[in-house]
């Protein structure tokens, strides 16, 4: 073999090996390339083995080139193996080893959040009493959240709802502070008689404590007909609590102020530690609200209510801090 010929061979081995390694995209392929070039009967190995038949001068020349190339290829293979996740050389079989006798891993199952569960239950109770479920936007306009509900700008009642405004302020967009805007939205488009509930999240820009969160669920209720009365409201709510808690719980209705009802009430239920817990704001729809949606208050009347779903969930599952619902603490969630 002439010197030039032998250099050609090394060059082509080098080119092939590096080309293949460059393209290799998994561990197996790298392993095959390793065998093909520097394995027991690899291309380069064969040349190295044939050195002994050569003259001393040839051996010196070819030997050092062959060894240098072998080193180069080995280095490259090592890098490639590291890239595909093998630690420490040739024991990749350990990583691939599977103990087929090991017991299977249990797949952990998720479950429904307690608020979602109560929401489903509450919804189906109202559905069974003839109410239709409706939804509305979480990003609301100042008009629907306040003005149309009889709470104009500068009205002191706005202080009842600390608000997250969406910048820029002049657009009058906000995160709804209650589900009540949907009374207006619905009555603008539908003629009475009507019975709806509107569940959804609401947002308040205020300090939180064990019974106040900045984000919680409400369920708005609305019923309008010719003779709908406070007595109807009381009967409905009593029936509702009976179905939800499946036991007689104590409830009281006391006067309350909300600009969109007249008269307005608050409904409390007694919790297990004998404390009254406020869970509903309600009232007879204010005549001005009916006028705002072009209904004649001398023909139609109705009641509206807004129920705090988090508090009802707390009561049902004996949870003592509302902030736990959104804490992201799995130890809490897994109890249900």
Residue 203 makes contact with ligand DAH by CB under 6 A:
no
202 catalytic per annotation: no
Residue 186 in 3-state DSSP?
Answer: helix
Residue 180 makes contact with ligand DAH by CB under 6 A:
yes
Residue tagged active-site, from 178, 195, 286, 311? 178
If one counts every other C-beta atom within 10 angstroms of the C-beta of residue 275, the result is: 9
Cα–Cα separations (whole angstroms), residue 325 to 89, 127, 208: 50, 26, 13
Minimal distance, residue 178 CB to ligand DAH, in Å: 3
Interacting residue with ligand DAH among 175, 196, 261, 295 (CB under 6 A): 261
Residue 178 makes contact with ligand DAH by CB under 6 A:
yes
Residue tagged active-site, from 30, 134, 261, 282? 261
- Which tokens go with 270? 């007694």
Interacting residue with ligand DAH among 118, 196, 304, 314 (CB under 6 A): 304
Residue 246 in 3-state DSSP?
Answer: coil
Minimal distance, residue 247 CB to ligand DAH, in Å: 26
Rounded-to-integer distance, Cα 14 and Cα 30, Å: 15
304 catalytic per annotation: yes
Rounded-to-integer distance, Cα 9 and Cα 62, Å: 11
Rounded-to-integer distance, Cα 126 and Cα 143, Å: 28
| The one segment of 20-28, 110-118, 299-307, 319-327 that binds ligand DAH by CB under 6 A | 299-307
Residue 281 makes contact with ligand DAH by CB under 6 A:
yes
Q: Is 262 annotated as a binding residue?
A: yes
Rounded-to-integer distance, Cα 21 and Cα 27, Å: 10
178 catalytic per annotation: yes
Cα–Cα separations (whole angstroms), residue 193 to 89, 135, 224, 243: 79, 19, 5, 25
Q: Which residues are known to be catalytic? A: 161, 178, 204, 218, 261, 304
Q: Which residues are annotated as a binding site for Mg(2+)?
A: 262
Q: Which residues bind ligand DAH (CB under 6 A)?
A: 178, 180, 220, 258, 261, 264, 281-283, 304-306
């Amino acid at each position: 073999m002439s010197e030039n010929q032998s250099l050609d061979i090394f060059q082509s081995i080098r080119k092939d090996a590096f080309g293949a390694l460059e393209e290799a995209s998994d561990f197996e392929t790298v392993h095959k390339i390793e065998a093909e070039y520097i394995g027991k009967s690899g291309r380069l190995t064969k040349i190295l083995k044939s050195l002994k038949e050569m003259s001393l001068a040839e051996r010196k020349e070819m030997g050092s080139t062959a060894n240098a190339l072998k080193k180069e290829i080995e280095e490259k293979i090592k890098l490639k193996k590291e890239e595909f996740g093998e630690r420490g050389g040739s024991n990749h079989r350990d990583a691939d080893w599977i103990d087929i006798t090991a017991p299977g891993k249990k797949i952990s199952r998720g479950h429904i959040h307690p608020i979602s569960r109560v929401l489903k239950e509450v919804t189906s109770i109202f559905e069974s009493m003839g109410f239709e479920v409706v939804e509305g936007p979480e990003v609301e306009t100042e008009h629907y959240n306040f003005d149309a509900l009889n709470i104009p700008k500068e009205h002191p009642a706005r202080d009842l709802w600390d608000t997250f405004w969406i910048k820029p302020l002049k657009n009058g967009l906000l995160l709804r502070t209650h589900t009540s805007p949907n009374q207006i939205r619905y009555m603008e488009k539908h003629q009475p008689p009507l019975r709806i509930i509107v569940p959804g999240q609401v947002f308040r820009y205020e300090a939180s404590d064990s019974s106040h969160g900045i984000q919680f669920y409400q369920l708005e209720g609305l019923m309008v007909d010719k003779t709908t009365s406070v007595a109807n409201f009381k009967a409905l709510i009593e029936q509702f609590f009976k179905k939800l808690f499946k036991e007689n719980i104590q409830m009281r209705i006391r006067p309350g102020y909300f600009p969109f009802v007249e008269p307005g009430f608050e409904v409390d239920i007694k919790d297990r530690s004998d404390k009254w817990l406020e869970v509903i704001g309600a009232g007879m729809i204010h005549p001005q609200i009916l006028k705002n949606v072009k209904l004649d208050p001398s023909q139609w009347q109705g009641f509206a209510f807004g129920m705090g779903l988090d508090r009802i969930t707390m009561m049902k599952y004996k949870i003592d801090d509302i902030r736990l619902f959104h804490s992201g603490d799995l130890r809490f969630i897994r109890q249900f």
